[in-house]
Amino acid sequence: MPDQELLSTEPATGAVLWRHPIGDADTEVAIARASWAAWAARPLAVRIEALRRFANVVRQRADAFTDLLARETGKPLWEARTEVETVIAKVDISVTSYSERTGQRRIEAPMNTRLALRHKPHGVLAVLGPYNFPAHLPNGHIVPALLAGNAVVFKPSEKTPASGAFLVECFHAAGIPEGCIRLLIGGPDQGKALASHPDIDGLLFTGSANTGIALNRQFAARPEKILALEMGGNNPILVWNTPDLYSAAVLVVQSAFTTAGQRCTAARRLIVDEKLFEPLMAELNKLIGRLIIGEPHADPQPFMGPVIDNNTADMLTESFLTLSTMGGRPLRHMERLIENRPFLTPGVVDMTEAREKVDVELFGPILQVFRKTSFEDAIAEANDTRYGLSASLVSQDPRLYDQFWANIRAGIVNWNKPTNGASSAAPFGGVGWSGNHRPSAYYAADYCAYPVVSSESEQARAAMGVGLRDA
């Protein structure tokens, strides 16, 4: 039956790329539940070696993985290749992180007693992955979870299931027990069934704020389950007191339009000194006009491909029109390049004089511009959001950066760098609607195992000197 099968199509062409029967959450969780204890009982060195074999498998299959990621997401080959490289690099980063963040320690204690700090896995962890980085982002949960001794049930986005399936195949090919990394194919119903399953011990989520907030409410009554949320951002990039406006424009374009704007760290808002507005817009317009937008395998390689599907493209074009009806002044109109295909040109709109503003994550190549006359007002504008993931300042003045760093509300604060491109060797996360204070990347080890403190002595020696009657 068609409704029992999930199809994946290529955004650039509309061709069917992959199909697979829809899975069952109960079945996958039961298999993981039966398998995790044996995996957790293996020595850490064995788990490390298995995950290093996984990295080697991905390395051997890198070309096929790159091609699949590019076809299924629409991102250019150069970007898909970078994603595969981050999957490989995640293993060594996670091994170092596990040792540093959750390693065993001895703590000073009174004579004849020792205090030991160790960590235990939670058990079965569910991972819900997004479509923009369908390998890298779920892998950032899965590798540290397996390293800590958990079993994982992974449900990829229904928009990129083939990439998720390829990732799981690499784990199995490396000798990770099949029961310890399970693949659940399906749509929202399967995701809800997995998230609400009584036999999972936690959920690691990357996706929209609305879904994350719903999960937060759902888990509020289940404090025994770990919940890690990464929910995106409405990120600002400020341009202030800088003579090199070409470089500033490059940083803005890289921040706002890499991956067709489909990054949680993408710049959604450009906040610029009123005095720099006209010359910066001139540079920005020239640069946007030179961007190659095309299918993943095009030659020369495009800067950006399509957004994920036609529904998303329709939503984004409607959102751009809505910003205009709210009083925004289009500086560069968003255009649909190919009828019935989700290729969009970047849209830029000046919202300085708009009657109202919307604090939403428009997940695509839309940039809102705000002109300000004081740096204090610029910071206030940057902080005028429920989100708090990433923020960047483009300026030649280190004093402004000190002020910016001290006052901006974000988990990633950059200077003369894009808002995106975060390192896996550092913690990744934000505040507000961007997460629930469980940063991922290097700090993923923190939510994949829990600390156990033991007071230990080899002999039972005890005495009571207070509160007893004479014998």
Digit-coded pLDDT (tens) for 275-331: 999 999 999 999 999 999 999 999 999 999 999 999 999 999 999 999 999 999 999
Model pTM greater than 0.85?
Answer: yes
Single out the residue of 367, 126, 375 nearest to residue 241, CA to CA: 375
Q: CA-to-CA distance for 51 and 142, rounded, in angstroms? A: 10
Q: Is residue 471 part of a domain?
A: no
Token pair in block for residue 314: 């329709």
> What is the pLDDT, as a whole number, of residue 1?
34
Residue 185 and residue 272 in one domain: no
* pLDDT at residue 181 tops 60: yes
> What is the pLDDT, as a whole number, of residue 243?
95
- Comparing 176 with 465, the larger pLDDT belongs to 176
Q: CA-to-CA distance for 158 and 188, rounded, in angstroms? A: 8
Q: Is residue 420 part of a domain?
A: no
Residue 54 and residue 108 in one domain: yes
Q: CA-to-CA distance for 381 and 372, rounded, in angstroms? A: 9
**CATH number, residue 348:** 3.40.309.10
Q: Is 264 a catalytic residue?
A: yes
Residue 139 and residue 278 in one domain: no
Residue 272 and residue 341 in one domain: yes
**CATH number, residue 103:** 3.40.605.10
Q: Which DSSP string corresponds to 255-282?
A: HHHGGGG-STT-EEEEEEEGGGHHHHHH
Q: Is 158 a catalytic residue?
A: no
Q: Is residue 241 part of a domain?
A: yes
Residue 8 and residue 111 in one domain: yes
Can you say how many angstroms the Cα of residue 171 is from the centroid of all Cα atoms in its chain? 20
Residue 305 and residue 198 in one domain: no
**Banded model confidence at residue 2, pLDDT cuts 50, 70, 90:** very low
Among 158, 230, 283, 361, the one annotated catalytic: 230
Burial of 412 by CB count in 10 Å (0-12 exposed, 13-18 middle, 19+ buried)? Answer: buried
Cβ contact 368:351 at 8 Å: yes
Among 264, 295, 381, 448, the one annotated catalytic: 264
Burial of 198 by CB count in 10 Å (0-12 exposed, 13-18 middle, 19+ buried)? Answer: exposed
Token pair in block for residue 275: 């005095």
Residue 300 and residue 251 in one domain: yes
* pLDDT at residue 112 tops 80: no
Residue 335 and residue 290 in one domain: yes
List the domain range (segments joined by +) for residue 9: 2-231+435-456
> What is the pLDDT, as a whole number, of residue 3?
60
Helix (H), strand (E) at residue 65: helix 62-73
- The chain-wide mean pLDDT, for the chain, equals 96
Q: CA-to-CA distance for 419 and 255, rounded, in angstroms? A: 5
Q: Is residue 339 part of a domain?
A: yes
How many domains are contained in the chain? 2
The backbone region for 261, taken as left when phi is positive above 0, alpha when psi lies in -120 to 50, beta otherwise, is left
Residue 194 and residue 305 in one domain: no
Residue 106 and residue 144 in one domain: yes
